């Protein structure tokens, strides 16, 4: 029986109604949660209920994380990586202020979820303050940009996480440096816009999660088809990729997450005023 997930309700100006992303064969069915956590509602996939309808494709042989890092994110010039890390540290403050309520809501899921957490594309560590103060938490922050490490470490310290409980690993989401079924929680915010292969990253997230492990995400996605904003995003996409280390404005990441075969998924959509060009966002929680 699949685990069920849900986000607590939040009344906030600017919030769009909950979006149920269309997904191949997904049934909006509420079932009890076998993991015993306090998830209230959720969606389970028909594929999870009737696995014979969607047999899993044979697993590809694993690719060594170091090899994958060089393949999908070879080192950029040092000055560029440093510039980008500094820009993320300094330039995201008003964004972080606006998104704080959504992050608080999202990370409130974590108190009962378990202690082994992997954050992919951890960047400068802006999420650590939301979850790293929990007793006994162990965090692996994965990022290909080595200049993120100092910022992430400082964020971990100010979040009250002992340095022995935070490990920074240089790596990519397409081959996560973690064992199968080893993580209680995987977190990713504003990362699937930047990875080389979204579906591969989602497969990796599922691989490293324990059964019933949770994937918490906030991602910016393409504006709806036919809107002016979608046109602008399409026009600016090449520039964005150049200045923001491969970040795409036009991905339909909510759809990828919905199609990734999680046993349950709660996904909402929101538009942010401080981040017009990277709006809307999808955020939510999925259970392996
Ligand atoms: C827009 S930043 C977001 C950082 C952080 N998660 C946040 O919310 O501020 C994107 C991050 O993804 C990292 N990144 C880029 N390609 C990646 C990949 N293939 N796998 C994992 N992380 C990647 C970048 O180095 C950067 O730190």
For residues 172 and 60, the model is more confident at: 172
Ligand 1 atom closest to the Cα of residue 88 is 9
**Residues 6+ positions from 203 with CB-CB distance below 8 Å:** 260
pLDDT, tens digit (0-9, with 9 covering 90-100), for 180-231? 999 999 999 999 999 999 999 999 999 999 999 999 999 999 999 999 999 9
| Tokens encoding 8 | 């607590």
Q: Which CATH architecture group holds 26-55+83-287?
A: 3-Layer(aba) Sandwich (3.40)
β-pairing verdict for 116-120 and 44-45: unpaired
From the centroid of its chain, how far is CA 62?
21
Closest CA to 129 of 88, 168, 164, 157: 157
CA of 148 to the centre of ligand 1 (A): 9
pLDDT for 280 beyond 80: yes
Contact at 8 Å (CB) between 39 and 5? yes
pLDDT, tens digit (0-9, with 9 covering 90-100), for 84-114? 999 999 999 999 999 999 999 999 988 778 8
CA of 101 to the centre of ligand 1 (A): 21
State how far the Cα of 82 lies from the Cα of 273, in Å rounded to an integer. Answer: 28
Q: What is residue 104's three-state secondary structure?
A: helix
From the centroid of its chain, how far is CA 195?
11
State how far the Cα of 283 lies from the Cα of 288, in Å rounded to an integer. Answer: 16
Contact at 8 Å (CB) between 49 and 29? yes
For residues 62 and 168, the model is more confident at: 168
Q: What residue segments make up the domains of the chain, in order of their start?
A: 26-55+83-287
How much is the pLDDT for 93? 92
State how far the Cα of 202 lies from the Cα of 199, in Å rounded to an integer. Answer: 5
pLDDT for 286 beyond 80: yes
Q: What is the mean pLDDT of the chain?
A: 84
Q: What angle do CA 252, 255, 212 make, to 5 degrees?
A: 130
**Residues 6+ positions from 17 with CB-CB distance below 8 Å:** 269
Q: Looking at ligand 1, which residue's alpha carbon is closest to its atom 22?
A: 121
pLDDT, tens digit (0-9, with 9 covering 90-100), for 158-192? 999 999 999 999 999 999 999 999 999 999 999 99
How much is the pLDDT for 60? 58
For residues 132 and 37, the model is more confident at: 132
Q: Report the run of H or E that residue 256 belongs to, with start and end.
A: helix 253-258
Contact at 8 Å (CB) between 185 and 286? no
How much is the pLDDT for 2? 54
For residues 48 and 153, the model is more confident at: 153
CA of 258 to the centre of ligand 1 (A): 21
The proportion of the chain whose per-residue pLDDT surpasses 90, expressed as a percent, equals 71
CA of 54 to the centre of ligand 1 (A): 31
Residues with CB under 6 A from ligand 1: 72-73, 88, 92, 120-123, 126, 143-145, 148, 172-174, 189-191, 194-196, 245-247
Q: Residue 251 — very low, low, confident or very high, per pLDDT cuts 50/70/90?
A: very high
| Tokens encoding 250 | 């036009």
Q: What is the mean pLDDT of residues 104-133?
A: 92
Q: Residue 27 — very low, low, confident or very high, per pLDDT cuts 50/70/90?
A: very low
Q: Residue 275 — very low, low, confident or very high, per pLDDT cuts 50/70/90?
A: confident
CA of 123 to the centre of ligand 1 (A): 6
């Amino acid at each position: 029986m699949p685990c069920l997930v849900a986000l607590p309700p939040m009344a906030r100006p600017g919030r769009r109604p909950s979006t149920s992303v269309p997904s191949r064969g997904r049934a909006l069915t509420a079932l009890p949660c076998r993991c015993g956590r306090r998830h209230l509602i959720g969606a389970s996939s028909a594929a999870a209920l009737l696995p014979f309808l969607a047999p899993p494709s044979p697993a590809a042989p694993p690719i060594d994380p170091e090899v994958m890092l060089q393949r999908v994110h070879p080192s950029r010039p040092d000055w560029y990586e440093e510039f980008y890390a500094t820009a993320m540290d300094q330039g995201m403050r008003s964004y972080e202020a606006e998104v704080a309520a959504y992050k608080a809501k999202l990370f409130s899921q974590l108190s009962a979820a378990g202690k082994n957490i992997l954050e992919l594309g951890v960047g400068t560590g802006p999420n650590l303050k939301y979850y790293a103060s929990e007793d006994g938490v162990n965090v692996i922050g994965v990022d290909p940009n080595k200049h993120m490490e100092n910022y992430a470490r400082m964020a971990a310290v100010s979040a009250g996480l002992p340095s022995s409980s935070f490990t920074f690993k240089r790596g990519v989401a397409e081959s996560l440096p973690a064992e199968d079924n080893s993580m209680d929680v995987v977190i990713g915010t504003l990362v699937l816009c930047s990875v080389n292969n979204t579906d591969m990253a989602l497969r990796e997230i599922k691989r490293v999660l324990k059964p019933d492990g949770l994937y918490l995400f906030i991602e910016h996605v393409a504006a709806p088809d036919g809107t002016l904003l979608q046109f602008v995003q399409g026009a600016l996409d090449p520039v964005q990729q150049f200045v923001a280390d491969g970040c795409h404005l036009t991905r339909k990441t909510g759809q990828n997450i919905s199609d990734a075969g999680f046993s349950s998924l709660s996904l909402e959509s929101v538009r942010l005023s401080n981040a017009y060009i990277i709006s809307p966002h999808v955020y939510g929680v999925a259970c392996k």
